[in-house]
Chain A
């Protein structure tokens, strides 16, 4: 447990030192979301209808931006090999890295989403569901993304390849996440969507670190 915390603390510290990377992904999120009304038109009813989908797609894309560096910098400076050789199970260390990734890329999106939701005229209760859905969904994005990041570690054209591998796997998260807010707005209630999202999160939390570890071992062989 202390090893996980140490990894999380270390990665957070590194992220603090390189603030621009975190901020870039965050501003990317804001800009992408703000582009849609400009492309579609300012009609409030239409914007309100598509807001959950836009916010979620933008969240997927901005998560992709930071996934690349999840293992790449550690791989480049040899830290990753040290981690593999350390006595702590690699799966735990990987879980720590994924947690740190979520804290630096997912959590800021969750906190920022309500502000952007206001731009789209979402009411308070819808904003609450949006935050809840993102809170359940963004860790899922980090978990699944970590598998892709490990698979494409040190591979030619890794960045584009990573999005090709990971984005199709994000589809359930997108459907249930955006669906939760839509269902709430249309009065159906978001409980079903949110509990499915939670189930997916539990499943991914169990399997993703394991698959990521396997992929990392393959990459470092």
Chain B
């Protein structure tokens, strides 16, 4: 047990995490590609036409995974933030900072595809329904987090301030979701009609899950890429960075 603990702390230092991340990135890209191709295949060639929505429902295969990811990344970000505040590890703040733009883009994709789905199904690009509105607010929370970190020059202070904001946000997200839902409980129509025929829901669910896995792998890969850059930016003046083979060439 203690051995394992030591190992964890070993990889928690930017110096040892940097090469580890470098080795992991290609694997995550490969997984993202495999799941992505499989997911797209199911989305376009396996999943049958929806009885109500025709081919238009196929947007669900990116809309739902991106919504899931946008929420999940916020939780992961807050978890890293909490870890950083509790244990004062340098890497945690960098991970939170690396995840934020990906989360914001996932929220953006979710909003964009939501609008493109809403137009043919509900007749408007935007509906003030509970889920779309909460997603918009989540997007604002991401933007606030990124803006706060960008405005603070001292990286340690930026990490801690960002961590507090992320934790306040994570307490607020369920409250916001509940309040928005209370405010408007009109999100039936579209989603319910999809799940009508059970055999179809099965393929759709598989397609969505595989696409979600692809999004997941993509998010990890791109966040690791970003965290590597952040590590180098923050550790510019340390010996180990100067000794990196990439720097020496």
Measured CA separation A218–B148 after assembly (Å) = 13
Would B161 and A157 count as touching, CB distance under 8 A?
no
Is residue A147 contacting chain B, with contact meaning CB distance below 8 A?
Answer: yes
**Of A156, A196, A207, A219, which one neighbours B161 at CB under 8 angstroms?**
A219
Would A172 and B161 count as touching, CB distance under 8 A?
no
Measured CA separation A158–B182 after assembly (Å) = 33
Would B157 and A221 count as touching, CB distance under 8 A?
yes
Is residue A161 contacting chain B, with contact meaning CB distance below 8 A?
Answer: yes
Is residue B180 contacting chain A, with contact meaning CB distance below 8 A?
Answer: yes
Q: Mark B157-195, 1 if CB is under 8 A from A, else 0.
A: 100110011011101100110111011000000000000
Is residue B147 contacting chain A, with contact meaning CB distance below 8 A?
Answer: yes
Least CB distance, B12 to chain A, in whole angstroms: 21
Is residue B152 contacting chain A, with contact meaning CB distance below 8 A?
Answer: yes
**Given contacts A151-B161, A156-B151, A157-B151, are A175 and B180 in contact (CB under 8 A)?**
yes
Chain B: residues with Cβ within 8 Å of the partner, total of: 29
**Given contacts A147-B164, A218-B164, are A172 and B179 in contact (CB under 8 A)?**
yes
Q: Mark A32-62, 1 if CB is under 8 A from B, else 0.
A: 0000000000000000000000000000000
Is residue B140 contacting chain A, with contact meaning CB distance below 8 A?
Answer: yes
The residue on B at minimum CB distance from A182 is B183
**Given contacts A157-B151, A161-B147, A164-B147, are A171 and B180 in contact (CB under 8 A)?**
yes
**Of B137, B148, B164, B175, which one neighbours A214 at CB under 8 angstroms?**
B164
Q: Mark A180-201, 1 if CB is under 8 A from B, else 0.
A: 0000000000000000100010
Contacts across chains A and B counted by CB atoms under 8 Å? 75
**Given contacts A155-B151, A155-B152, are A169 and B168 in contact (CB under 8 A)?**
yes
**Given contacts A165-B144, A211-B164, A221-B157, are A179 and B171 in contact (CB under 8 A)?**
no
Task: Name the A residues within 8 Å of B222 (CB-CB).
Answer: none
Would B172 and A169 count as touching, CB distance under 8 A?
yes
Measured CA separation A136–B66 after assembly (Å) = 37
Q: Mark B35-67, 1 if CB is under 8 A from A, else 0.
A: 000000000000000000000000000000000
Is residue B141 contacting chain A, with contact meaning CB distance below 8 A?
Answer: yes
Task: Name the A residues within 8 Å of B152 (CB-CB).
Answer: 155-156
Is residue B143 contacting chain A, with contact meaning CB distance below 8 A?
Answer: yes
Measured CA separation A169–B164 after assembly (Å) = 14
Measured CA separation A3–B141 after assembly (Å) = 35
Would A211 and B175 count as touching, CB distance under 8 A?
no
Measured CA separation A17–B167 after assembly (Å) = 37
Measured CA separation A215–B160 after assembly (Å) = 8
Task: Name the B residues within 8 Å of A167 (CB-CB).
Answer: 140
Would B179 and A175 count as touching, CB distance under 8 A?
yes
Least CB distance, B109 to chain A, in whole angstroms: 19
Would A165 and B148 count as touching, CB distance under 8 A?
yes
Least CB distance, B76 to chain A, in whole angstroms: 20
Q: Mark A123-154, 1 if CB is under 8 A from B, else 0.
A: 00000000000000000000000010001100
Would B179 and A147 count as touching, CB distance under 8 A?
no
The residue on B at minimum CB distance from A212 is B164
For B137, B165, B171, the residue with the greatest tally of chain A CB atoms inside 10 Å of its CB is B165
Would B168 and A171 count as touching, CB distance under 8 A?
no
Least CB distance, A58 to chain B, in whole angstroms: 19
**Of A151, A168, A200, A221, which one neighbours B148 at CB under 8 angstroms?**
A151
Would B157 and A219 count as touching, CB distance under 8 A?
yes
Task: Name the A residues within 8 Å of B141 (CB-CB).
Answer: 168
Would B151 and A161 count as touching, CB distance under 8 A?
yes
For B144, B152, B157, the residue with the greatest tally of chain A CB atoms inside 10 Å of its CB is B144
Would B167 and A211 count as touching, CB distance under 8 A?
yes
Task: Name the A residues within 8 Å of B168 (CB-CB).
Answer: 147, 169, 211
Give 7 new A-B contacts, CB below 8 A, not counting A147-B168, A164-B144, A169-B169.
A151-B164, A156-B152, A161-B144, A172-B175, A172-B179, A207-B171, A218-B164
9 A–B pairs (Cβ distance < 8 Å), ordered by A: A151-B165, A157-B151, A164-B143, A164-B147, A168-B137, A171-B176, A211-B167, A211-B168, A219-B157
A-contacting residues of B (Cβ < 8 Å)? 85, 137, 140-141, 143-144, 147-148, 151-153, 156-157, 160-161, 164-165, 167-169, 171-172, 175-176, 178-180, 182-183
Across the A-B interface, the 4 shortest Cβ-Cβ residue pairs? A172-B179, A168-B140, A218-B160, A165-B144
